[in-house]
Structure 1
Amino acid sequence: MTADWRRDEARREEAALVDATVPNAARVADYLDGGKDNFEADRKAARSLVAAAPIIGLIAPAWRAFHQRAVRYLVREAGVRQFIYVGVSLAASNDTNEIVWSADPRCRIVFADNDPLVLAHARALMRPVPDRGAGSPHGATGYVDADVSEPGAIVAGARETLDFGQPVAVMLMFILAFIEDTATAAGIVSSLAGALPPGSHVVIHHIASELNPALEMAARRWNQMSEQQITLRSKDEVASLVAGLELVSPGLVPIGEWRHGRHDPHFEEVIPMHAVVARKPIAQRGPR
């Protein structure tokens, strides 16, 4: 996309919706990950959270390493070449394409979010779907202006870029923590997975309720500062989100333990996030 978004009326209207005085989860995550797309309110909130739970300062490198491991598995072992990222952090949106296309440049990626700043980043990363008559296959990117609570809209928008006749990986990186009711969160995952072909995957990492007691204080602080209320979940609760799907080994584990490699960052403490990669089963034929 070559048009200057600042000259587009719709995008100017979106930019006007950005409130720099209220901390925003995507911008706070960006700050914690060393990014520059944040405001003083976000930086102040991030410092307050780290003061309550210092382990929060280690979450960004831990989930980034998990992200890389999960993508490598999906592309190299599971044969997935299509991705939907729901609830994209600003930091992740900057390097998602690089991570995915380093595994296979033919992969297609769709970003789904309703945050104006995140959507601006997604547009900047756009690579249009190539013509069917093109010689060698190339990757493509798209974006969907939809909230995680709108799985139907996400799927409908993603179909413009992805081929739902082939496996797709839905990446729900942290976003389900902003759905307060666990049954509702499980329904969202079920709806997304239900729209995908067999052999597709769902990837989740979720802030944990039982791995570090300081996170309870940090969560209360955040919920006092922001309308984006956060909910911590136990291992059993996160497991309920992927009920009916097959868990890829090693299953549901702390984020640093999912296929940790010798070149991945090592942490002295357990990073209090649950991580899981789950597969939609391929229907088996019955006996003849």
Structure 2
Amino acid sequence: MNQQSGRLPVEIDTTVAHEARVYDYWLGGKDNFEADRALGEAIAEHIPTIKTMARANRAFVGRAVRYLVQECGIRQFLDVGTGIPTSGNVHEVAQRAEPRCRVVYVDNDPIVLAHARALMTSTDEGATKFLFADLHDPDSILSDPALTGTLDLTQPTAVMLVAVLMYFRENDEVQQVLGKLMDAVPSGSYLTITHPTADFDPEAMAGVVASAERSGIPFQPRSESEVAELFDGMDLVEPGVAPVLAWRPDPEPAGVTKLHPDHQVDPHSAYYWAAMGRKR
């Protein structure tokens, strides 16, 4: 069952950087333009490992979705700030574990809309839809037929906000948006967030913020305590608020030998916090 919904944009302005296309550039995608690449490289000057961090953030999505389906019994996902399709999209991971899973994607980038078909290769038992909308207007998301016709919000739903809340400068606005989204889903639903932070390298993150703001993109890193506050009233899933690399990392594959047996990946080498909470 494959459909898309939302207001069609008149045109795509390729002269202005867009966060989804910058992220696509870091992941090695081809759906980005000069302005996106310029911002991506400007940020990389401050954090040379930013492409590795983007991949770490993407890998987290797979771990989180598998956990939600296999351990929590979740069958519905609302993924806001989807980004340009890459391997391991939410519906691919979820429906591989349980073909009946239903997913609604939301993004405000016309390029993502142009790739909506790639986001909607659903199993016959499940469903996927794409909604062209903005997280700053959660009411329009929750009332759209693309959502209401796909997800049953009387049943537990996983709300995914992966690397998107940093585009809100004010904590109060973030809390208002989260309040509306989570008020719309029942007890037993889950909220999943990753968020860049200055906790691990304040100087480097200050450079990232300055580069993004010069390109017209608001960028607000948040501390561990600020991320924890986003889950007020919810039960945090272990290990709580953790570096994205340390949130339920996959075990090392059997038979694989480390080049350096004593080497351990520094969990603070990717400047994101990650957390998941269950609505009581």
TM-score range, shorter chain: 0.7 to 0.9
TM-aligned CA deviation for residue 123 of structure 1: 4.2
Residue 193 (structure 1) aligns with: 182
Q: Aligned match of 2:51 in 43, 52, 57?
A: 57
Q: Is the 8 A contact 2:166 2:196 kept in 1?
A: yes
Quick check: 1:77 aligned with 2:71?
yes
Return the offset for 1:110: 0.2
The answer to which structure has the higher helix fraction is 1
Q: Compute the displacement of 1:220 (Å).
A: 0.8
- How far is the alpha carbon of 1:78 from its aligned partner? 0.4
Distance in structure 2 (CA, Å) of the matches to 1:28 and 1:19: 14
Q: Which residue of 1 aligns with 2:208?
A: 218
Q: Hey, what's the Cα distance between the residues in 1 that align with 2:232 and 2:266?
A: 31
* Whole-Å separation in 1 of the counterparts to 2:165 and 2:229: 12
Of residues 143, 150, 160 in structure 2, which corresponds to 1:171? 160
Q: Which amino acid aligns with 2:138?
A: P
Equivalent residue, structure 1, for 2:91: 97
| Cα separation, 2, equivalents of 1:57 and 1:118 | 20
Q: TM-score, normalised by structure 1?
A: 0.85
Determine the structure 1 residue equivalent to 2:29.
35
Equivalent position amino acid for 2:36 in 1: D
Q: Does 1:161 align with 2:150?
A: yes
The residue number in structure 2 matching 1:235 is: 224
- Distance in 2, matches of 1:78 and 1:126, equals 24
Identity of aligned residues (%): 39
More displaced, 166-175 or 156-165? 156-165
Return 96-105 or 177-186, whichever deviates more. Answer: 96-105
Mean alpha-carbon deviation: is it higher for 56-65 or for 166-175?
Answer: 56-65
Query: How many angstroms apart in 1 are the aligned matches of 2:159 and 2:90?
Result: 13
Q: Name the TM-score, length of structure 2 as normaliser.
A: 0.87
Name the amino acid aligned to 1:66. Answer: F
Match of 1:277, SS?
strand
Equivalent-residue separation in structure 2 for 1:24 and 1:198 (angstroms): 35
Q: 2:258: which partner in 1?
A: none
For 1:146, the equivalent position in structure 2 comes to 133
Greater CA drift, 46-55 or 114-123: 114-123
* Partner Cα separation in structure 2 for residue 71 and residue 276 of structure 1: 13
Cα deviation for residue 269 of structure 1 reads 5.7
Check the 8 A contact 2:246/2:267 in 1, yes or no. Answer: no
| Letter paired with 1:64 | R
CA distance in 2: counterparts of 1:93 and 1:164, whole angstroms: 27
Q: Which runs of 5+ in 1 are unaligned?
A: 131-136, 282-288
Match of 1:206 in 2: 195
What SS class does the counterpart of residue 49 from structure 2 fall into? helix
**Residue-by-residue CA offset, 1:196-247 (whole Å, 9 max, x unaligned):** 011000000000121122111111111101x221101101111111211110
How many matched pairs? 264
Q: Is the 8 A contact 2:158 2:189 kept in 1?
A: yes
Return the offset for 1:79.
0.3
For 1:110, the equivalent position in structure 2 comes to 104
